[in-house]
Amino acid sequence: MDYIYHYRSPLGPITLASDGQALVGLWFDGQKNWGSTLATAYGEADLPMFRDALRWLESYFAGQDPGFTPALALRGTPFRRSVWQNLLAIPFGETRTYGELARSLGMPGAAQAVGSAVGHNPISLIVPCHRVVGADGGLTGYAGGLEKKAWLLRMEAAALIKPIGSI
């Protein structure tokens, strides 16, 4: 059985899902593939692991790199899990292209397959699929919507700019 918890973000409601030990899902309400890794039977609960995820979200939406990753249980095929693991390596405020991700996996011709795996990421934000852009640097697909992707990338970029007086 899985458990869910609801969170209100600056971009709208988010549903978090856990197996009781780790996060298995984090979706903007209404996004594509919502609940894709959620067990058939689930209920609401306030679990310690949700408190860790909420700490991460509060820090992130305050414009800070949270500096930690809550416990995750990535549910998917081995290929998808390898792509999602690579997403976790993209630093706060940086982007990568689908081609760069494919090359980092040793599969330089697999940008389209990587794109499909990125699009099925079940743990939005924490597994930062919003940091993946097209070859020309343009915004391409995001299950939560391109407006959210643009907002997230702008917020991260702004957080990295230091005020003149602090240099």
Residue among 129, 132, 152, 153 flagged as catalytic: 129
Neighbours of 2 (CB within 10 A): 19
Burial 18-36 (b: 16+ CB within 10 A, else e): bbeeebbbbbbeebeebeb
Query: How many whole angstroms separate alpha carbon 154 and alpha carbon 152?
Result: 5
DSSP lists the bridge partners of residue 12 as 9
Lookup: tokens for 145: 């919507």
| SS3 assignment, position 159 | helix
Which residues lie below 8 Å from residue 161, measured CB to CB, with a gap of 6+? none
Which residues lie below 8 Å from residue 125, measured CB to CB, with a gap of 6+? 14, 26, 57, 60, 152
Helices H / strands E in the chain, number of each: 5, 6
Catalytic residue check, 129: yes
Active site residues: 129
